[in-house]
Structures are given as structure tokens and as C-alpha cells.
Amino acid sequence: MKQALAAARLARDDAWAAVALTEQRLGAARAELATITRRRALADGIGDTETVAVADRFARAQEDTIALLERKLAVQRDEAAFEGRTVDEMESELRLATGRPGVAPSDGAPSASADLPPRDDVASGSPHDDPATHREVDERAFGVLDHERRAREASERLAALKRRMGRDA
């Protein structure tokens, strides 16, 4: 369960990072629309109908992009909230399974994830309540996952190279 919780935390953090990236893209798209609108007004002011027509076309495309990014942002925020709820539920289950003070374990069986430090929002007085401890757990889990991913990709590249060279993988 400890690994699943670390993976869920990574998914939650990735979801919020995606929200931040989309917010940046949306801000840039809005700024671009403002630039297009300003340039259109300037062209209209000097009677350049060709530039006005081009600016209108670009403005419509930019408005479509903004609408799409706004919908995407709403969905990403929902996803991030869902991932956050998932992490909260998993942490609650872990606290139940590890027999945290004031919480009865569900079946009394020791859990393989009993060494996971509690979250910083659980006031247990433990030195493990530091948020930095959770980052360390997450970073260790990410390091293992990243190493496994790189090893898998290297194996796939080697197999592809062998196929191109005419050897069986």
C-alpha cells in the first residue's frame, strides 16, 4: 500500500502541475488575443482592410483556442481534485491499517506499509510529521519508478536496434 500511496501522490502532483501548465497556456492565449485585437484596431484605424480580415480570422482561431483551454482546465482541475481525494482516502486507510493512535486497526494484521510516516496534517506529535519526510518518501518512490522506466525504455531501444540489425531480440 505504501507504493500505491506514493504513486497516488505522484499522480496528484502531476495533475496539479498539468493544471498550472494549462493556466500558463491560457494566460498566454489571452495575451495573444489582446495583441491580435489591438493590431486589428490599428489596421482598422488606417483603413487596411486586408490586415483587418486576417486579424479577424486569427482572433476567431484564438478565441477557439481559449475556449478549448478553459474546458481543458476545468477537466484538469476535476482530475486533480479526484487524485487528491484518492490520496486522502488511501492515507486514511493506511492510518487505519497501521493502528494510528485513536484509530482501531481494521483486522489487527500488521501492514507491510507500517513504516510510512504519517501526513503532516495528522497531529501525532511524531518527528515524522514534517512535510519534508513525505517529499523524501515520494522522491524515493519516484526514483525507483524512474529507474524502472529508463531500464524498460533502454531494453525496448536495444530490441528495436537488434531488429533493425537483423538479429532476433
Q: Are 111 and 1 in contact (CB under 8 A)?
A: yes
Compute the 3-state secondary structure of the chain and give helix, strand, coil in percent, each to the nearest 5: 80, 0, 20
What pLDDT band is residue 147 in, cutting at 50, 70 and 90? Answer: confident
Q: Express each pLDDT in 58-84 by its tens digit.
A: 999 999 999 999 999 999 999 999 999
C-alpha cell at 65: 483556442
Between these two residues, 72 and 162, which has the higher pLDDT value?
A: 72
Q: What is the mean pLDDT of the chain?
A: 79
- Percentage, residues of the chain above pLDDT 90: 47
pLDDT reported for residue 113: 41
Does the pTM surpass 0.85? The reply is no
**CA 124 remoteness from chain centre:** 29
C-alpha span between 158 and 163 (Å, rounded)? 9
CA distance 128 to 88: 18
Strand stretches in 7-136, DSSP E: none
Contact 115, 2 (CB under 8 A): yes
User: Is the separation of the CB atoms in 93 and 2 below 8 Å?
Assistant: no
Closest by CA to 17, choosing from 142, 103, 159, is 142
- Residue-wise pLDDT for 21-58, tens only, equals 999 999 999 999 999 999 999 999 999 999 999 999 99
Q: What is the mean pLDDT of residues 114-136?
A: 47
* Number of DSSP helices (H) and strands (E) in the chain, helices first: 3, 0
